[in-house]
């Protein structure tokens, strides 16, 4: 069993849910988060409050699941990201679990 953590901009929430379902990951949790990128963007540079950083509305999903489900999920995420027209890919990491109850 491992912990998979997935982050995506809010606009991709439904797509991530579909990817989890296709990968047979049925038990997971999610949370609203604010995503930040360092560096000046056009929006930040043209803001009235240039020193003020605003985050992008994002989602964090996580699940304790089996390796084979995670491998399938990663394949679907890679396929999804390869067809993106934005600079906001879905990101995922896997954390091994040493002990659990």
pLDDT in tens, 11-70: 999 999 999 999 999 999 999 998 777 765 545 454 445 555 567 789 999 999 999 999
Q: Are 80 and 14 in contact (CB under 8 A)?
A: no
Q: Specify the pLDDT at position 57.
A: 87
Full-model pTM: 0.81
**6: pLDDT confidence band, cut at 50, 70 and 90?**
very high
Residue 101 CA to residue 99 CA, distance in Å, equals: 7
Q: Specify the pLDDT at position 51.
A: 53
Q: Tell which residue, 24, 18, 37, 29, has the closest CA to residue 79.
A: 18
Which DSSP helix (H) or strand (E) runs through 31? strand 29-35
Domain boundaries, the chain: 2-96
Indicate the class that CATH gives domain 2-96: alpha beta
């Amino acid at each position: 069993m491992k912990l998979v953590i997935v982050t995506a901009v809010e606009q991709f929430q439904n797509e991530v849910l579909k990817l989890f379902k296709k990968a047979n990951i049925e038990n997971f949790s999610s949370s609203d988060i604010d995503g930040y990128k360092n560096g000046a963007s056009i929006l930040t540079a043209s803001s009235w409050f240039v020193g003020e950083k605003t985050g992008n509305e994002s989602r964090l999903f996580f699940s304790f699941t089996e390796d084979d489900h995670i491998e399938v999920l990663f394949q679907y995420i890679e396929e999804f990201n390869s067809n993106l027209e934005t600079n906001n890919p879905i990101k995922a990491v896997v954390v091994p679990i040493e002990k659990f109850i």
